[in-house]
Structure 1
Amino acid sequence: MANKQAELEAVLYAAGDSGVEQEILCQLLEISQPALRELSNHLKDNLNKRADSGLQLILINNTFKLTTSPKCADVISKFFQKDVNKSLSQSALEILSIIAYRQPITRIEIDEIRGVNSSGAIQTLIWRGLVKIDGKKDVPGHPNLYVTTDYFLQYFGYKSLADLPLIENFSEDIDENGQVDLFESKGKADAHLENNDKLGD
């Protein structure tokens, strides 16, 4: 039981904000639904009893998620307020460009294009309000579909997705590392961020 509980906690941590559906968890952990309910109750109780734990286990629409505890709300709020002022990393910009031009798109499809796992950067983009989950793809596992938000347009100074630079125009915009700046310049984005309201205001 202890090993299964550790596995459950690890899987939910790796899944991030998306969580994992009960059926998929049963398959991964090779246990029945009643056993999963018992296991999840143990993990939930353990997290709640631990004074040093900043996490909680929740169940929403048959999907288990590890989220931050309400008792840590103040510091989490400060973290997001600080994080929103940071410049986006190159990998985050790369993922954002893929989502912008290929939306709606799943994380697996993004990973296939990039060749590396994109989970962390996608969560950062969601935290920043630039990307959101918009339904699930009708394939086995029903993965989340990601799209850009209205704040994405505001952030980069576009009125609509139709204003995005055309892919065909990128041949002259390749930098020394072989990367294309899909949003013309990060400086433009930072300028718009400074002139617009911050997330959560």
Structure 2
Amino acid sequence: MRGVSGNMDDVQSHPLGELSQEAKSDKMAHLKKALECLLFVSDKPMLLRELSQIIEVDETLTEQLIKELMNEYDERSGLAIVEVAGGYQMVTRPEYGRYVAKLRQPRRVRLSRASLETLAIIAYRQPITHPEIEQIRGVDSSHCIARLIELGLVKITGRKNSPGRPYLYATTERFLEVFGLKDLSELPPIEQWHQKAKTMGVSQTMDEVEGDASASDDAKVNDPDAQ
């Protein structure tokens, strides 16, 4: 991938096109530092559109600058800029997680084994109705669904055009953030869900689920808001 700073001819159509080569270089460096600041202070992924509007250049140039930053961080930093939940976020690299953990204990999103199972069903079958979830699980899932909505991992997306017009449930951007996914296409095959859950800090596995779990059966998922 070519660096932004080395491709000034590519931006002639942008407002920067009227500047001298030296002025362009200075402006590009300035914008890149501005993006770095925005990603550093944001506690959630920032959309390309949002970043573009803030630094007041078009999305094509903004994306070029972000890619350049990503390469620079890959080469020299314990931090990384990643694509997640449809946006960009600055995160610590996993290999340095044990050092960060000594500084602060991350908050946890607590999920019972039953809620974790319900979340998996919604993630892989979405949009899906309450009766369809219970048909798969074989037990009442009202509490689990309510808990997932409360945590911001699941949302109501509409109603199904069937008798009773039941609500349809789907996962949220917060779900993508918590599980470190760029979008739903990155969901692992269902048979690998257990391993994915483990890598995200879930202490209970799906095959342990037998109906609703008690509070003592809580699984824990890292909360990215605390990192």
Q: TM-score, normalised by structure 2?
A: 0.42
- Taking CA–CA contacts closer than 8 Å with sequence separation of 6 or more, which of the two structures ends up with the larger relative contact order? 2
Q: TM-score, normalised by structure 1?
A: 0.47
